[in-house]
Amino acid sequence: MIRFKRTYAISTLTFVFMFLSFLTSAQEKSTDIRTINNKKYYIHKVEKGQSLYAISKIYGTDVNVILADNDEAIDGIKPGQELKIPFDLKPANSVKPITNNTNSTNLDTNRYVYHKVVKKETVYSICKQYELTSAQLEAFNPSITSGIKPDQMLIVGEKKNSGKANAQIKAITFNGNGNNTPVLQDSTISKPKDKKEKYNIGLMLPFKINESELLDPGVLTQSKANFPQLQSYSVDFLLGFQKALDSLKSADCKVETFIYDVDDKDSAKIENLCKSNEFKSLDLIVGPVYPSGFKTVSAYAKQYSIPLVSPFTQQNKILFKNNLASKTNPSQFTLMEALADYCIDSCKGNSAVFIVNNGMLKEQQYVKAFKNYYNERLKQLNISLKDSVVEVKGLAGAKAKYVEGKKNIYVLFSNNQVYLADFVTQLAVWSDKKDVVLAGWQNVTQTDNIDQEYLNRVNYTFPSQSNIINLKAYSSAILSYQTEMSSDPSDYYFMGFDIAQYYLTHLKQHGPSFISELDKYPFDGNFLRFKFFHPDATTGFENRGAYIFRYSNYQLYRSQWK
């Protein structure tokens, strides 16, 4: 069950449904209509990122109906491809239209919940009242495409749940008034709460409700602008989190989720929330997502022995002085160290490793840190220092130090796209028939002016905080998301799922005490790897779980390194 703080509840519901409305309205039926073999079709040109399921929702039909006239789509679709969509279609899962007669004998009150339209009501206001998207309401009532009228009876859901039909988010009264101000004390170590049968989980995300309510989906669609990323990522994280929560339901352990719209800029709002009675009742907090807000919440959470999780921040300093805090996103230095360990573990004795210094001041810290960590690890593992990493100056130095008969690994930590494009291109051309590997940051693979062919030639290798090639494991979760949102989920959906699964599974099994021993519970999710490190008793837990990927034979592979 999800509960919203009342002061945010109506606004948050408005935002979620406006977001759904935007996703639906942003994709319109094609105006290209043709007659082929005496049958009328919409000719739909596939856009980048569109799925066959999303297209079926645009036209209010079923995927199988589209496949019946487009055999080639069975093997997948691609941008620019044209699909024939039958012109004369009844909406998928449609029901018999309801007349405006209040006493109509067509009303199936045993199966459906109805709403009688009153004067000045709109489709939007009805959707908001019953927590539906406009597409869902239209599927129940096909006739509303031509408008609604007073006294019209509309189906607003099926009688399978109590309360509002198909409601997924329920509002409750918020009793915390901020008057009970705690006196924070500086204690070094906090003790977790005891195990119990019901847990309250607080989810603090930047939905930015006030800003979102001012957006006009129609204007965004017309200008082909995207819905603000921060808000959409927050919704994705919430939906993934709730999906995992639903899968973990059991009779012996109940979980209730409280969702808060938390923006780091509003420090007063965060302070008032932390002083409320409801805050004190929480057993686990996920968020806020930014360091400043997280540090404020952390101070209060520590006072009440409430564990809290940072889902996105890479900075380790947010864990200082709170042993019940943890962060799931590895830092850049952690990813760098993971790459160093991979080079040592996978290539020792048969490789020459070089760290490339491109002369840019911003990137000197990584050159120095990589050298120090790599060589220190060699000492710890009793590996000969003749295998220590060698620093080379730019591309010329990399070429000059090449060692015949060995795998030559060049590590380049740079974010300068011009330099990267030039280095990768020249190294790829020069390395023909040479045993060369280039390693660095993941974002190199997403740089537009770097040819993927060249990344394949140099067997580009990089660390990542997520398992970017394992999304098939989420097939059922993805289908659920597509059904609800008529689009494909972002990475934040999978992050929300894995974080909820990890923390709530252990919470059920071990109680809150597991929070103070996270380093004893490593776990590989389908998208995230949890491998916590605890530097000392007064500091929180940093996740050092990372994956290593490499290009080979024009495919991206995940290394079996752990």
d(CA 281, CA 306): 9
327 - beta bridge partners? 310, 542
pLDDT, position 159: 65
Superfamily name with CATH number, domain 228-329+473-543: Response regulator (3.40.50.2300)
Q: Do domains 228-329+473-543 and 333-464 have the same CATH topology?
A: yes
Give residue 42's pLDDT: 92
Closest C-alpha to 7, from 261, 300, 204, 238 = 261
Distance in angstroms (rounded) separating the CA atoms of residues 489 and 11: 23
The pLDDT value recorded for residue 391 is: 94
Burial bucket for residue 522 (CB in 10 Å: 0-12, 13-18, 19+): middle
Check residue 529 and give left, alpha or beta (phi > 0: left; psi -120 to 50: alpha).
beta
Domain 333-464 has CATH 1.10.155: no
Q: What is the pLDDT of residue 528?
A: 95
Return d(Cα 544, Cα 518) in angstroms, integer.
Answer: 12
Q: Residue 130: its pLDDT value, please?
A: 79
3-class SS of residue 297: helix
Whether pTM > 0.75 for this model: the answer is no
Interacting residues of 547 by C-beta distance below 8 A, sequence separation 6+: 463, 464, 465, 466, 467, 468, 529, 558, 559
Total Cβ atoms within 10 A of residue 32: 11
At residue 214, the pLDDT reads 64
What pLDDT is attached to residue 536? 87
Whole-number pLDDT of residue 29: 84
Domain spans of the chain, in order of start: 22-166, 228-329+473-543, 333-464
The pLDDT of residue 162 is 35
Q: What pLDDT was estimated at residue 105?
A: 40
φ, ψ for residue 194, nearest 5 deg: -80, 160
Residues in the chain: 562
> What is the residue-level pLDDT of the chain in tens, covering all 562 positions?
334 343 333 344 444 545 544 544 445 788 899 998 888 999 999 886 666 767 877 887 766 678 778 877 765 678 889 999 998 764 444 333 333 333 344 566 666 788 888 877 788 778 877 778 777 787 788 778 777 888 888 888 876 543 333 333 222 242 223 333 333 444 567 777 777 888 999 999 998 876 766 666 566 556 666 667 788 888 889 989 988 988 887 767 788 889 898 887 778 889 989 999 999 999 999 999 989 999 999 999 999 999 999 999 988 999 998 999 999 999 999 999 999 999 988 776 688 899 999 888 888 889 999 999 998 988 888 887 777 899 999 999 999 999 998 899 999 999 888 999 999 999 999 998 889 999 999 989 888 788 889 999 999 999 999 998 887 777 877 887 777 776 788 889 999 999 999 999 998 888 888 899 999 999 999 999 999 999 888 899 999 999 999 998 888 899 876 6
Phi first, then psi, for residue 43 (nearest 5°) are -105, 105
Location of structure tokens 């890479």: 314
